[in-house]
Amino acid sequence: MDYLKIYPTQTLNGAIEISGAKNASLPLIAMTILAKEAVTIGNLPDVVDIKTLLKLLSKLGASCKFSKKSVHVDTSTINETKATYDIVKTMRASILVLGPILARFGHCEVSLPGGCAIGQRPIDLHLKALEQMGAEIDIKAGYIQATTPNGLHGCEIIFDKITVTGTANIVMAASLAKGVTTITNAAREPEVVQLCEILAQSGVIINGIGTAMLEIHGTDGKLLNIKDFDVIPDRIEAGTYLCAGAITKSEITLTNVEPKHLGAVLSKLEEMGHTFTLSKNTICIHPAKEMKAIKIITQEYPAFPTDMQAQFLALATQAEGVSIIEEKLFENRFMHVSELQRMGADITLNGHTATVSGRTQLSGTDVMATDLRASSALVLAGLVATGETDIHRIYHLDRGYEALESKLQNIGAKIERLKE
């Protein structure tokens, strides 16, 4: 297994090109199941989760030709509708094939994804909505067995909680259903917006894109003419590198980024004292000389994203004063806290709220990554810790960050990937 060794970094300097969004790529790849012809998806991030979903599609019989940053997917050869445990257990977002497969083939078996480090991650809302649309669903021997005896039909769906992949699953299922489906309390993340936009460009009438109320007019089984497209930039990768600039007091520039997807993140960084120069697809951070403490509550888009919580918690250890970080979406998304405490951070946890007293000088040591975003928080801490920081189990990091160490090396960070 690999691990990352990070040496104390002076300031960073230069530009980082942001990759395509992992959390946009996954539903968009699943969406190709609805396509009549092959589709080429560009600006794909070269990360493990994308490879896992493409492997799943290949196992179902699709042809996936991956070349640098793009994939050519032909799902006309799919001859299997069972997503098996061996793949689904490695990536819960495999559940995104359920809606499209059911809509196209009328039957689907998907292994229950199981929990994950940050929480139980139920999919009850996905299943309840599909049943409302006419699916018959059984859970047997750890598998979701779904059939649609009379096809999927439109209906009025109200999500009890805002669910990103739940919204994506139902939007895709509704795209091929008979009649109109409305989704109330839909997710508005940019990744869901892009999925809706591509579907709309492929012949599906969708009203309310970008709002919490979506209305999807299904094609009644007619497959879609999906044209080649590029995935939007990864706003969480971008936010993570902005935190790298902030925590090391470095002026760095992000390219191939969408500033309008980072409103809440930029606003919190400004509250901490950082300023920015923005253009259409670049962000330059001008770091604060002395960071101020911050109060953060994670919520659904466009509010502050839970996927940036760990990174800001690391950042808060370097801010003057007491920061309060409340995690509202997931029940166990503070596993980075104990690792940061081992580096000397002064953090107290009370239920879903972390109180961080700064500024503390962190010291390098061996730490363990526990989930994707916690791993990036440990990288940020390692950049400013005295001594060496060795981050183990970085297979978590490789799921969602493309070439992280080389992107950081290119702007002056002393970081290397070694073998255990």
Kindly list the catalytic residues. Answer: 116
CA dist., res. 41 & res. 283, Å (int)? 25
Q: How far is the CB of 345 from ligand EPZ (least distance, A)?
A: 21
Sequence-distant (6+) residues with CB within 8 A of 86 are: none
Q: Which is nearer to ligand EPZ, 165 or 323 (CB)?
A: 165
- Residue with Cβ nearer ligand EPZ (24 or 315): 24
Residue 275, φ and ψ in degrees, nearest 5: -125, 170
Pick the closest to residue 25 from 279, 233, 295 (CA basis). Answer: 233
Q: Tell me which DSSP letter residue 334 carries.
A: -
The least CB distance from residue 340 to ligand EPZ, in Å, is 18
With respect to ligand EPZ, which residue has the nearer C-beta, 6 or 96? 96
CB of 105 to ligand EPZ, least distance (A): 22
SS3 letters across 221-279: CCCECCCCEECCECHHHHHHHHHHHHHCCCCEEEECCCHHHHHHHHHHHHHCCCEEEEC
Strand partners, 110: 83, 144
Least CB distance to ligand EPZ at residue 334 (A): 14
Going from the C-alpha of 96 to that of each of 88, 158, 191, 267, 346, the distances in angstroms are 10, 19, 13, 32, 39
| Nearest residue to 378 via CA among 411, 337, 322 | 337
Report d(CA 81, CA 60) in Å as an integer. Answer: 6
Whole-number minimum distance, CB 329 to ligand EPZ, in Å?
5
Pick between residue 3 and residue 330 the one whose CB is nearest to ligand EPZ: 330
Q: Given the structure tokens 């998304």, which residue do they identify? A: 333
Nearer to ligand EPZ, 44 or 125 (CB): 125
Do 186 and 211 form a contact (C-beta atoms < 8 A)? yes
C-alpha 349/C-alpha 298 separation (Å) is 16
Tell the smallest beta-carbon distance from residue 8 to ligand EPZ (Å). Answer: 27
Minimum CB–partner distance for residue 364 and ligand EPZ (Å) = 25
CB closer to ligand EPZ, 101 vs 397: 397
User: Which residue's CB is nearer to ligand EPZ, number 62 or number 96?
Assistant: 96
The residues binding ligand EPZ (CB under 6 A) are 23, 26, 93, 119, 121-126, 161, 163-166, 306-307, 329-330, 372-373, 400
CB of 184 to ligand EPZ, least distance (A): 15
Nearest-angstrom CA–CA distance, 412 and 400: 22
Alpha-carbon distance 373 to 338, whole Å?
14
With respect to ligand EPZ, which residue has the nearer C-beta, 45 or 364? 45
Question: CB under 8 Å, gap of 24 or more: what pairs does 298-301 form?
Answer: 298/325, 298/326, 298/327, 298/328, 298/329, 299/328, 299/329, 300/162, 300/164, 300/187, 300/188, 300/189, 300/329, 301/187, 301/188, 301/189, 301/190, 301/264
Structure tokens at 151: 């096809």
Q: What angle do CA 187, 255, 297 make, to 5 degrees?
A: 40
